[in-house]
Structure 1
Amino acid sequence: MQKKRYSSSMGCFHIIKRVICIDGSSPDTGKGKIKFKSSSSSNEVSHGFHLVEGQSGHDMEDYHVAEYREKKGHVLGLFAIFDGHLGDRVPSYLKANLYNNILEEPSFWADPKSAIKNAYNSTDKVILENSMQLGPGGSTAVTAIVIDGKDLLVANVGDSRAVLCQSGTARQLTVDHEPHNERRRIEKRGGFVTNLPGDVPRVNGQLAVARAFGDENLKAHLSSEPDVCNVRIDSSIEFVILASDGLWKVMDNQEAVNMVRSIRNPQAAAKRLTTEALTRKSKDDISCIVIRFG
């Protein structure tokens, strides 16, 4: 039984991207990089991604963002994984709209954490208002913004995860929003958490995450409030892994870091992680982005 699904109850740019329509079991894969130069030093951000469809009996529901934008004299690396459930309309909408909403928040440069929280919540409101078109499903999200190769902003709802490698040690930047950890809030909002033998805890016996975009029928008991953290990128920060729970169900944080630390090509690293997850019999969609610094 799949965990998130409902129960049957400024410098020079060098960007290389391969964009493929996710179709059947064909993987979506690509890479890119950007170099920042100054009179005293240079820094490079490179990324690679690899997504594969799972074997859980539904079409691919994972979407990703991996791109660079110039804004107000800054260069932003924008990376995200959206892991949908009950269809792909909500994650598809997030891919097209969430980053625009974040960057259009008036407070983004002065107070980026508040701007990200506001954008997550306002985006969720629009999704719910358009549930007739977007359907009853929802999506987790993990987003990462790299500003000028110097600062990293990470946010998430649900159990898609960001893991940092700092001097070889794994450091989880996100919070897995599992129902048993938020039981008090869910019950305060009129919901309940089931924990049946052989299953994971679920909100109202249905959804195995406590926070998500969409999910109109459960929204009274769910939250779209993200956890947000900021990391200053220094020489100890080697890379970040963003991945859906199709990876994290079968691999712990330090295992993932150890597996790809020596792989300099981030696309090859992302593919290595997804391939290993398949070898370990992960049945869910598996999406992975590796962002390497320096």
Structure 2
Amino acid sequence: MSEVQSVSNLLGTETTTNDEEITGQTKDDLTSPTSSSTGIELVKEQKECSSIRDETSAEGTEITTPKEHAQFPYFKVGVVEDCNKRYRRTMEDAHCYFYDFAGVEGQGFFAIFDGHAGKQAAEWCGNHFHETFQEVLEKNATLPIPEVFNLTFAEADQRLNESAAKHSGCTAIAALVRTDICDEGDENGGTETVARNGTDSAKKAYKRALYTANVGDARAVLCRDGIAKRLSYDHKGSDVQEAKRIVDAGGFVLNNRVNGVLAVTRSLGDCSMKGCVVGAPYTTETALTEKDSFLILACDGLWDVCSDQDAVDLVKDVMDPQAASEKLLEYALQNFSMDNLSVMVVRFTNT
């Protein structure tokens, strides 16, 4: 079995995709005031890294700073957003991220939501999607994480469609990192020196797994040994399989848009189009190794003007994830991105 296993939910079917297929761009290459984790009541005292608005540039960039930036041994997070005032009047993106998610050491949860037809759906997800994920996880503790993501997206979609946010929609990319400390010398684990509360340092082996899930064209890209590995799938009307699914469901694709209106074929919300525009995510499961340096999560405002490999090349030597996210955003602005921009960089650490 390859290190990267993918499950794409299409009308109840599952497919396994090898590493090379994920590495290549998906065929046909297959969008709120920003809601962050600020103010969210934490469950089980999980360590929150909320977004602190501490700087605004002339372009309207809001730089967000983690409360405990660089204090965690397993990964560091940087995130930045921009309304892109030259082309957009309102900000419809949202994000959230947590260290030690659900009270589990070394477990991180990260997500970006790109709204359309209003901010409501993305804003709701920024505030509640992680809560929904944790509820589903606790009720289904033995399920594989990809299945937990499947149930979470379905539940979030249902809750959105029962709320005032149902007429807006959003694309979504979510990721979970799990870290398991195990015996030294495990063939699948890396090694790190762990020191806690002044005790003697000891060599420990650890396993880290990365799980992702997305709907729409928000994207996750992993840097593995300097090479970009896409861990998401662009659900667009230009994709042949997605277009066929839309037609089979009674809709049509005109100018690469569902029913001539929506550019993405999967999303959360969009109640009026739910017969065609489903919320079933594409999911991946990846065993992280020492070759995996960082993960980029971003909405299509970045990917419309930047390839996966170009994004990795731009920031692979930038050790500070906050500086890396800012560099990617600035690149998108300089290359005339016409959408709201949200970029998150998660850099994995070994100490």
What is the TM-score when the length of structure 1 is the normalising length?
Answer: 0.85
- State the Cα distance separating 1:222 from its structure 2 match: 0.7
Whichever residue aligns with residue 265 of structure 1, its letter is D
Report the Cα distance in structure 1 between the residues aligned to 2:346 and 2:298, rounded to whole angstroms: 11
Tell me whether 1:211 sits opposite 2:266 in the alignment: yes
Question: In the alignment, what sits opposite 2:247?
Answer: 187
Whichever residue aligns with residue 160 of structure 1, its letter is A
Q: Measured at CA, do residues 237 and 91 of structure 1 come closer, stay the same or move farther in structure 2, by a change above 3 Å?
A: same
Q: Measured at CA, do residues 258 and 73 of structure 1 come closer, stay the same or move farther in structure 2, by a change above 3 Å?
A: closer
Q: The residue matched to 1:71 in structure 2 has which SS? A: helix
Question: In the alignment, what sits opposite 2:42?
Answer: none
Question: In the alignment, what sits opposite 1:168?
Answer: 226
Candidates 315, 337, 340, aligned match of 1:282: 337
Per-residue CA deviation, residues 192-248 of structure 1 (Å, 9 max, x unaligned), is 0012xxxxx100000000000011111111110001111112101010100010000
Q: Measured at CA, do residues 271 and 21 of structure 1 come closer, stay the same or move farther in structure 2, by a change above 3 Å?
A: closer
Question: In the alignment, what sits opposite 1:140?
Answer: 171
How many aligned residue pairs are there?
269
Tell me whether 1:48 sits opposite 2:78 in the alignment: yes
- State the Cα distance separating 1:35 from its structure 2 match: 3.5
Question: In the alignment, what sits opposite 2:302?
Answer: 247
Task: Choose 1 or 2 for highest CA Rg.
Answer: 2
Tell me whether 1:271 sits opposite 2:326 in the alignment: yes
Tell me whether 1:71 sits opposite 2:102 in the alignment: yes
Report the Cα distance in structure 2 between the residues aligned to 1:73 and 1:253, rounded to whole angstroms: 31
Per-residue CA deviation, residues 8-65 of structure 1 (Å, 9 max, x unaligned), is xxxxx998654239999241422434544xxxxxxx3111001111233331001111
Whichever residue aligns with residue 173 of structure 1, its letter is L
Whichever residue aligns with residue 91 of structure 1, its letter is A
Question: In the alignment, what sits opposite 1:27?
Answer: 62
Report the Cα distance in structure 2 between the residues aligned to 1:108 and 1:265, rounded to whole angstroms: 34
Tell me whether 1:93 sits opposite 2:147 in the alignment: no
- State the Cα distance separating 1:267 from its structure 2 match: 0.2
How big is the alpha-carbon RMSD for the aligned residues of Structure 1 and Structure 2? 2.2
Q: Measured at CA, do residues 21 and 80 of structure 1 come closer, stay the same or move farther in structure 2, by a change above 3 Å?
A: farther
Q: Measured at CA, do residues 117 and 187 of structure 1 come closer, stay the same or move farther in structure 2, by a change above 3 Å?
A: same
Whichever residue aligns with residue 220 of structure 1, its letter is G
Structure 1 range deviating more: 202-211 or 100-109: 100-109
Tell me whether 1:121 sits opposite 2:179 in the alignment: no
Per-residue CA deviation, residues 113-132 of structure 1 (Å, 9 max, x unaligned), is 111101101110111122xx
Per-residue CA deviation, residues 91-143 of structure 1 (Å, 9 max, x unaligned), is 1111111111112112245321111101101110111122xx22511000000
Report the Cα distance in structure 1 between the residues aligned to 2:338 and 2:262, rounded to whole angstroms: 18
Aligned 8 A contact 2:87 2:339 in 1: yes
Question: In the alignment, what sits opposite 2:111?
Answer: 80
Q: The residue matched to 2:272 in structure 1 has which SS? A: helix
| Structure 1 unpaired stretches of 5+ | 5-12, 37-43, 196-200
| Structure 2 unpaired stretches of 5+ | 1-30, 32-45, 181-207
Report the Cα distance in structure 1 between the residues aligned to 2:89 and 2:211, rounded to whole angstroms: 32
Report the Cα distance in structure 2 between the residues aligned to 1:25 and 1:223, rounded to whole angstroms: 33
Report the Cα distance in structure 2 between the residues aligned to 1:65 and 1:16, rounded to whole angstroms: 8
Candidates 286, 298, 303, aligned match of 1:231: 286
Q: The residue matched to 1:146 in structure 2 has which SS? A: strand
- State the Cα distance separating 1:144 from its structure 2 match: 0.8
Aligned 8 A contact 2:216 2:264 in 1: yes
